[in-house]
Amino acid sequence: MNKEDQNKTRKITTLGNILFLERKKDEKEGSWKDFIYNPRTGEFLGRTAGSWGLILLFYLIFYGFLGGMFSLTMWVMLQTLDENVPQHQDRVASPGAFISYYICLAWECFAVPPDKLEKILVSVFRNLASQILQYI
Protein backbone atom coordinates (compact mmCIF):
# COMPACT_ATOMS: atom_id res chain seq x y z
CA MET A 1 0.00 0.00 0.00
CA ASN A 2 1.54 3.31 -1.05
CA LYS A 3 1.12 6.73 0.60
CA GLU A 4 -1.77 7.76 -1.62
CA ASP A 5 -3.77 4.69 -0.61
CA GLN A 6 -2.97 5.31 3.07
CA ASN A 7 -4.18 8.90 2.82
CA LYS A 8 -7.42 7.73 1.18
CA THR A 9 -8.19 5.38 4.08
CA ARG A 10 -7.60 8.05 6.74
CA LYS A 11 -10.40 10.29 7.93
CA ILE A 12 -9.84 13.97 7.15
CA THR A 13 -11.69 16.56 9.21
CA THR A 14 -11.64 20.33 8.85
CA LEU A 15 -11.99 23.15 11.32
CA GLY A 16 -12.16 26.40 9.41
CA ASN A 17 -9.08 26.47 7.16
CA ILE A 18 -7.22 23.82 9.20
CA LEU A 19 -7.17 20.22 8.02
CA PHE A 20 -6.86 17.41 10.58
CA LEU A 21 -5.69 13.98 9.46
CA GLU A 22 -6.82 11.24 11.82
CA ARG A 23 -4.25 8.54 12.49
CA LYS A 24 -4.95 4.88 12.01
CA LYS A 25 -5.28 2.63 15.02
CA ASP A 26 -1.84 0.99 14.57
CA GLU A 27 -0.15 4.43 14.43
CA LYS A 28 -1.61 5.40 17.83
CA GLU A 29 -0.09 2.42 19.60
CA GLY A 30 3.35 4.05 19.91
CA SER A 31 4.16 4.58 23.57
CA TRP A 32 6.91 6.05 25.70
CA LYS A 33 8.55 2.62 25.76
CA ASP A 34 8.88 2.78 21.99
CA PHE A 35 10.39 6.25 22.32
CA ILE A 36 13.04 5.01 24.77
CA TYR A 37 13.97 2.06 22.55
CA ASN A 38 12.14 1.16 19.35
CA PRO A 39 13.07 -2.43 18.39
CA ARG A 40 11.49 -2.12 14.91
CA THR A 41 13.75 0.75 13.81
CA GLY A 42 16.60 0.31 16.29
CA GLU A 43 16.20 3.88 17.55
CA PHE A 44 17.17 4.99 21.05
CA LEU A 45 15.41 8.21 22.18
CA GLY A 46 14.27 8.79 18.62
CA ARG A 47 17.75 8.57 17.04
CA THR A 48 19.69 5.80 15.37
CA ALA A 49 23.18 4.76 16.46
CA GLY A 50 24.70 6.61 13.50
CA SER A 51 22.88 9.79 14.45
CA TRP A 52 24.10 9.53 18.07
CA GLY A 53 27.62 8.90 16.80
CA LEU A 54 27.58 12.04 14.64
CA ILE A 55 26.27 14.12 17.55
CA LEU A 56 28.97 12.73 19.86
CA LEU A 57 31.67 13.36 17.25
CA PHE A 58 30.50 16.95 16.76
CA TYR A 59 30.55 17.73 20.48
CA LEU A 60 33.94 16.08 20.97
CA ILE A 61 35.42 18.23 18.20
CA PHE A 62 33.59 21.37 19.37
CA TYR A 63 34.61 21.12 23.04
CA GLY A 64 38.10 19.98 22.07
CA PHE A 65 38.46 23.16 20.01
CA LEU A 66 37.16 25.29 22.90
CA GLY A 67 39.57 23.63 25.33
CA GLY A 68 42.44 24.14 22.90
CA MET A 69 41.61 27.83 22.49
CA PHE A 70 41.45 28.28 26.27
CA SER A 71 44.78 26.49 26.74
CA LEU A 72 46.43 28.54 24.00
CA THR A 73 45.12 31.79 25.49
CA MET A 74 46.36 30.86 28.98
CA TRP A 75 49.77 29.89 27.59
CA VAL A 76 50.11 33.20 25.72
CA MET A 77 49.09 35.20 28.81
CA LEU A 78 51.54 33.29 31.02
CA GLN A 79 54.36 34.04 28.57
CA THR A 80 53.95 37.74 29.35
CA LEU A 81 54.87 37.24 33.04
CA ASP A 82 58.48 37.75 34.09
CA GLU A 83 59.85 35.06 36.42
CA ASN A 84 62.30 37.49 38.10
CA VAL A 85 59.61 39.95 39.20
CA PRO A 86 57.28 39.06 42.08
CA GLN A 87 53.74 38.45 40.95
CA HIS A 88 52.11 40.42 43.77
CA GLN A 89 53.53 43.88 44.36
CA ASP A 90 51.85 46.62 46.28
CA ARG A 91 52.57 50.28 46.85
CA VAL A 92 51.51 50.21 50.50
CA ALA A 93 54.54 50.31 52.80
CA SER A 94 53.10 48.07 55.47
CA PRO A 95 50.37 45.51 54.88
CA GLY A 96 48.82 46.46 58.24
CA ALA A 97 48.50 50.16 57.43
CA PHE A 98 45.16 51.55 56.38
CA ILE A 99 43.45 54.89 56.01
CA SER A 100 41.18 55.95 58.83
CA TYR A 101 38.75 58.78 58.31
CA TYR A 102 37.97 61.25 61.07
CA ILE A 103 34.27 61.47 61.70
CA CYS A 104 33.12 64.60 63.46
CA LEU A 105 30.43 63.80 65.97
CA ALA A 106 30.13 67.26 67.54
CA TRP A 107 28.27 70.25 66.15
CA GLU A 108 29.49 73.73 66.78
CA CYS A 109 26.91 76.47 67.05
CA PHE A 110 27.61 80.18 67.12
CA ALA A 111 25.44 83.22 66.94
CA VAL A 112 25.51 85.52 63.92
CA PRO A 113 24.32 89.09 64.31
CA PRO A 114 21.21 89.80 62.19
CA ASP A 115 22.91 92.57 60.20
CA LYS A 116 25.69 90.20 59.00
CA LEU A 117 23.37 87.22 58.42
CA GLU A 118 21.96 88.64 55.19
CA LYS A 119 25.44 89.28 53.74
CA ILE A 120 26.60 85.77 54.68
CA LEU A 121 23.53 84.09 53.15
CA VAL A 122 23.79 86.14 49.94
CA SER A 123 27.47 85.23 49.52
CA VAL A 124 26.78 81.54 50.26
CA PHE A 125 23.95 81.33 47.70
CA ARG A 126 25.94 83.33 45.13
CA ASN A 127 28.89 80.90 45.45
CA LEU A 128 26.54 77.93 45.34
CA ALA A 129 24.85 79.26 42.20
CA SER A 130 28.18 79.86 40.47
CA GLN A 131 29.29 76.30 41.33
CA ILE A 132 26.06 74.85 39.92
CA LEU A 133 26.23 76.95 36.75
CA GLN A 134 29.66 75.51 35.94
CA TYR A 135 28.10 72.11 35.32
CA ILE A 136 25.12 73.25 33.27
b/e code 106-127 from CB counts within 10 Å (16+ = b): eeeeeeeeeeeeeeeeeeeeee
pLDDT band at 2 (very low <50, low <70, confident <90, very high): low
Residue 15 lies in a domain: yes
- Give the predicted TM-score (pTM) of the model: 0.40
Least confident of 43-52, 64-73, 108-117: 108-117
How many domains is the chain built from? 1
Residue 25: domain span: 3-79
pLDDT of residue 81: 86
Model pLDDT for residues 51-98, shown as the tens digit of each residue = 899 999 999 999 999 999 999 999 999 998 888 877 777 666 666 656
Cβ atoms 22, 12 nearer than 8 A = yes
Residue 53 lies in a domain: yes
Residue 23 lies in a domain: yes
Residue 74 burial (CB count, 10 A): 10
| pLDDT higher than 90, residue 108 | no
3-state secondary structure of 70: helix
Residue 59 lies in a domain: yes
CA-wise closest residue to 7 among 32, 29, 24, 31 = 24
| pLDDT higher than 60, residue 129 | yes
